[in-house]
A and B are shown apart, each in its own frame.
Chain A
Amino acid sequence: MKLIKLVSALMLAGLLAACSPENVKDGDDAAADNNQQSQNTDGAQTGGINGDGTAGGTALGGATVSYEKSAINDVNNVLAEKVIYFDFDSDQISAEYQELIAHHGKYLAANPDMSVRLEGHADERGSREYNVALAHRRAQSVRRLVLFEGVNAEQVTIISYGEEKPVALGHDDEAWRLNRRVELVYEAR
């Protein structure tokens, strides 16, 4: 009896060995990357058409404040900052980022044909699925402030990666600080 059990177990093992890995189509990711590239190109092109990137004003800190469509790709514009950082195990947005998020909200309100994907992230400490939920709530916190500026809800989507996509690969306070973030990824709708 034991032998029969064993034989069947071994057959299963053999089958398992025969399984070739199911490859996820790289196409999806490659396509996503291309989109991102073309999106940047689109942004630049649109900027060329609009021509006038100087509307708005100059913030005291030196960064330009413009909600022109092309402004999203202007490295001197206040919108160039597209990452919001958080404290450990917190989804609270600190005062320093509230103004930045408001700028992004105003930009989206002024450009209803643009949309933003809020990508939530966590540092590596703690459990992984909890970090997915935590990073989701971070993105939600950003979304709430963005929508406060009168943005159409359809313009803002959320994806949480938890701790799965760190930008800093270290294992110290500095790396953790950089990884606790929400990235604003813009796309033309």
Chain B
Amino acid sequence: MLQMSVKKILSIVLLLAFFLSTAQAALRVEITKGVDGAVPIAVVPFELTGNAVNTANVSDIVALDLQRSGKFLPIEKNKLIATPKDLEEVNYKLWRIAGIDHLVIGKLKVIKPNQYEVSFRLIDVFKGAQVLGYQFAANDSSLRGISHHISDLIYEKITGQKGAFDTKVAYVTVERKQGVQPSYKLQVADTDGYNPQTVLNSTQPIMSPSWSPDGNRLAYVSFEKRKPEIYIQNLYSQQRDKVTSFKGINGAPVWSPDGKKIALTLSKKGNPDIYILTLATKKLKQITKHWGIDTEPSWTPDGSELVFTSSRTGKPQIYRVSASGGSAKRVTFEGRYNASPEISKDGKTLIFIQGEGNVFKVASMDLQTGYVQALTDGPLDESPSFSPNGSMILYASTDKFKGVLAAVSTDGRFKQKLVLSEGDVREPTWGPFRK
């Protein structure tokens, strides 16, 4: 799993290999670019009591989450100066001298098989006091989720920003084997790549998953009937509805922020244009009418406008248009290939794919100043989407030409790759906060 690829990654500042003993999902997390300003934090291995077999390692999950955020630098386990289990055991002076601001301690108690009690305490070393502490009941299927929830609580307490570890990501995987039909899967997994669930399985392409704002449903494109059609599937009830099946393209569905509409691309009149479908009434409204390609709509956070990709000047560039239609205004001017736009929740930043020659990178634009910054190195980066707290951008990248999930901090200073063992991964999209 770790293999020699390590040497080949040029910008490695840190490398962290992470294995799950139960091996439900073989994956590797690589921090490919670290940050100098990351806050040192000591996550002491939790005290384990009772007879635990193949139990998720809560403190390891928490440490990796915090590290994956780019804002924390967890101390390696073998370099911890002490391993306190209880508040009374903490020698504040010792940690202060070591320059550690925050300390996480905790316990995992096995009450009986598949029944656990998890507790943790976040300690502010300089205050010399606990600033956060919780206890949870858990079982095998909930333990990883609770671990991510603990990470969220710690992250929010220290940074003041809501954590997004205990959320889901959706993505498409493709496996091609000689002599058999390719296998396309729409999957939903934890943000660290664990617990992948297959939502749809097909021998024909699946594209463009989009989360409903409540996190219960996905809209996506499936070619299962040998033509593209848009479906909405409830992840919990599994109810699935075909939303559009017009002649030509049925593509790029994106939920409106209020969850009532879907913006999409149709070519039923011959040319790809942007439409808005009101879900309750099935009313369809054409938003763009142009001889060029108009596709990849994405909503502004207030739902009043759409940004989209258009080839109306010959090459793909990003435009914005009122969600009630009208004339479109060009947004990107730098570079010959700008596509796949998404606007941050605060409405200030546009992220997109910028292509130059054979290199396609994730880039961001400050919508107030127009300043454009490349956030990744390419060469085949695609499908950027914001984390629900806006701190990270999830995108599809390649690792020796294998499609992998990757994430970069919004400022481009911190990068990571999530390499799943199964097939090529593409079109990741980060789900909303849990309600």
Query: Which stretch from B31-39, B91-99, B264-272, B386-394 is at the chain A interface?
Result: B264-272
- Select B197's contact among A2, A5, A19, A158, beta carbons within 8 Å: A19
Residues of chain B lying within 8 A (CB to CB) of residue A14: 141-142
- Select A126's contact among B185, B204, B227, B316, beta carbons within 8 Å: B316
Cβ of A132 under 8 Å from chain B: yes
- Select B134's contact among A2, A132, A162, beta carbons within 8 Å: A2
Residues of chain B lying within 8 A (CB to CB) of residue A189: none
The answer to whether B199 touches A21 (Cβ under 8 A) is yes
Given A22-B201, A130-B296, answer yes or no on A13-B188 (Cβ-Cβ < 8 Å): no
The answer to whether B315 touches A128 (Cβ under 8 A) is no
A178→B176 CA distance, assembly (Å): 18
Given A10-B142, A10-B145, A128-B427, answer yes or no on A15-B200 (Cβ-Cβ < 8 Å): no
The answer to whether A127 touches B226 (Cβ under 8 A) is no
The answer to whether B293 touches A130 (Cβ under 8 A) is yes
- How far in angstroms is the closest Cβ of chain A from B340? 4
Closest to B401 in A: A171
Residues of chain A lying within 8 A (CB to CB) of residue B295: 129-130, 132-133
The answer to whether A129 touches B252 (Cβ under 8 A) is yes
User: Number of B residues contacting the other chain (C-beta, 8 Å)?
Assistant: 67
The answer to whether B176 touches A130 (Cβ under 8 A) is no
Residues of chain B lying within 8 A (CB to CB) of residue A130: 293, 295-296, 309, 311, 316, 339-340
The answer to whether B265 touches A159 (Cβ under 8 A) is no
Query: Which stretch from A25-33, A48-56, A59-67 is at the chain B interface?
Result: A25-33
- How far in angstroms is the closest Cβ of chain A from B28? 21
Cβ of B42 under 8 Å from chain A: no
The answer to whether A17 touches B197 (Cβ under 8 A) is yes
A111→B236 CA distance, assembly (Å): 51
The answer to whether B353 touches A133 (Cβ under 8 A) is no
The SS class assigned to the A binding surface is helix
A5→B433 CA distance, assembly (Å): 12
Cβ of B225 under 8 Å from chain A: yes
- How far in angstroms is the closest Cβ of chain A from B213? 15
The answer to whether A17 touches B195 (Cβ under 8 A) is yes
> Which residues of B, 214-257, contact A by the 8 Å Cβ criterion?
222-228, 233, 235-236, 238, 240, 248-249, 251-252
> Which residues of B, 130-186, contact A by the 8 Å Cβ criterion?
134, 136, 141-142, 145-146, 149, 166, 176, 181, 185
Sampled A-B contacts (22; CB under 8 Å): A6-B136, A14-B142, A22-B201, A24-B202, A24-B204, A24-B224, A89-B315, A89-B337, A126-B337, A127-B296, A127-B339, A127-B382, A128-B427, A129-B208, A132-B251, A132-B265, A133-B249, A133-B294, A133-B311, A137-B293, A158-B248, A171-B401
